[in-house]
Amino acid sequence: AMLRQVLARGRPALGGRGLAGRALSTEIQKVGVVGLGLMGHGIVQVSAWEGFDVVAVEKEQKFLDLGVDRIDQSIAKVLKSTEKRKPDMLPEVEATAAAAKARIEYSTDLGALADCDVVIEAIVEDMAVKTPLYQSLNEICKPETILATNTSSLPVQLMADASGRLDRTVGLHFFNPVQMMKLVEVVKLETTAPEVFDACMAYSKAIKKVPVSCLDTPGFIVNRLLVPAMAQAMLMVDRGDASIEDIDTAMQLGAGHPMGPLTLADYVGLDTCMFILQGWVDNFPDEPAFIVPECLKAKIAEGKLGRKSGEGFFKWDGMKRL
């Protein structure tokens, strides 16, 4: 039964030593999450659902309230879907949902994270904001705490340098929506302790994700392959090689992709694509795969950000492409 499995699941208990030689536990039982936006609230939800105690932190009460609403609405959708498709399981899923909600502690105080076994950062992609956070986490959290970043575009090494926890910093890159997407990229540094990496792999599996291992390369695996592919599609638009519609149709029918690269760019957000590409161009100017297409710049200038604004390369009505 789902609820019994959640409550009875064992946790990885892996021992190890930090760079300073101190004996540190890497057992993950209590998970902290900083930032309850699109990604963070999902990480909180899946962790609590699978039996982990969770501390969810936002900097201001209004953002915390938004995160709570996101989680409550997401769980309500699970219950509604269960009632419609598997009504006989509804009481069990309701009990699981209630238990998950009871495991979440909400706070606007970073101090609430002090005894977490891992703290996952899911805030804005800006090192001017992340650096002081990691400095604070290093001061606040117990020595055993693993610090993990959900960054999709910044080097994990920057977080390790900011925190000073070179042996206990990793990347845990989830995908949106976290509740549905199975993949987690677990990014290890040269200095990441093996038992810390192993504990993060085990945690990812415990929350029903499929973890893949990667070094701290720009974009990790998925974005390193996907974002340049979207950029190449945009460069075809710049050159007039093919129409927007035909580029997407070709990749759907010729490569078996569920959506074309320009539809995907709209879905992700053209501002997000620009942020990633421009960051790569600035930091890796000699890499020819990293380029910002002119049509992307034009769309951004016009305020056409894709699905979120109602128009990008295509027009959108909510989640539906017109």
Q: How far apart are CA 79 and CA 278, in angstroms?
A: 41
- pLDDT for position 318: 87
Cα separations in angstroms, 296 against 277, 285, 311: 10, 18, 13
Identify the active-site residue in 150, 152, 163, 204.
Answer: 152
Identify the active-site residue in 153, 163, 204, 223.
Answer: 223
DSSP E strands in 158-219: the ranges are 169-174, 183-188, 210-215
- pLDDT for position 319: 84
Nearest to 32, CA basis, from 136, 129, 147: 147
Identify the active-site residue in 185, 195, 204, 311.
Answer: 185
Q: How far apart are CA 136 and CA 227, in angstroms?
A: 32
CATH topology of domain 224-314: N-(1-d-carboxylethyl)-l-norvaline Dehydrogenase; domain 2 (1.10.1040)
Q: How far apart are CA 112 and CA 187, in angstroms?
A: 26
**β-bridge mates for residue 169, sequence order:** 147
Q: How far apart are CA 223 and CA 189, in angstroms?
A: 18
Kindly report the pTM of this predicted structure: 0.86
Q: How far apart are CA 200 and CA 5, in angstroms?
A: 20
H or E element at residue 132? helix 127-140
> pLDDT tens for residues 115-147?
999 999 999 999 999 999 999 999 999 999 999
Q: How far apart are CA 86 and CA 82, in angstroms?
A: 5
Identify the active-site residue in 153, 173, 195, 204.
Answer: 173
Nearest to 230, CA basis, from 27, 253, 219, 140: 219
> Please, are residues 143 and 170 in contact by the beta-carbon 8 Å criterion?
no
Q: Crossing angle for the helix pair 261-268 and 222-239, nearest 10 degrees?
A: 110
Max CA-CA distance within the chain? 61
Q: Where are the domains of the chain?
A: 2-215, 224-314
- pLDDT for position 27: 82
Q: Which CATH number fits domain 2-215: 3.30.70.360, 3.40.50.720, 3.40.50.2000, 3.20.20.140?
A: 3.40.50.720
SS3 207: coil
Q: How far apart are CA 111 and CA 106, in angstroms?
A: 12
Q: What angle do CA 144, 98, 177 make, to 5 degrees?
A: 70
Catalytic residue status for 185: yes
φ, ψ (nearest 5 deg) of residue 171? -100, 135
Structure tokens belonging to residue 128: 């001017």
Q: What is the mean pLDDT of each run of 10 residues along the chain (322 residues)?
A: 34 40 68 96 97 97 96 95 93 95 97 97 94 97 97 94 97 95 97 96 97 96 95 98 98 96 95 93 92 98 95 93 90
Q: How far apart are CA 92 and CA 147, in angstroms?
A: 34
Catalytic residue status for 223: yes
Structure tokens belonging to residue 59: 């900097």
Q: Where does 207-243 have alpha helices with state H?
A: 222-239
Give DSSP secondary structure letters for 77-109: HHHHHHHHH-GGGHHHHHHHHHHHHHTEEEES-
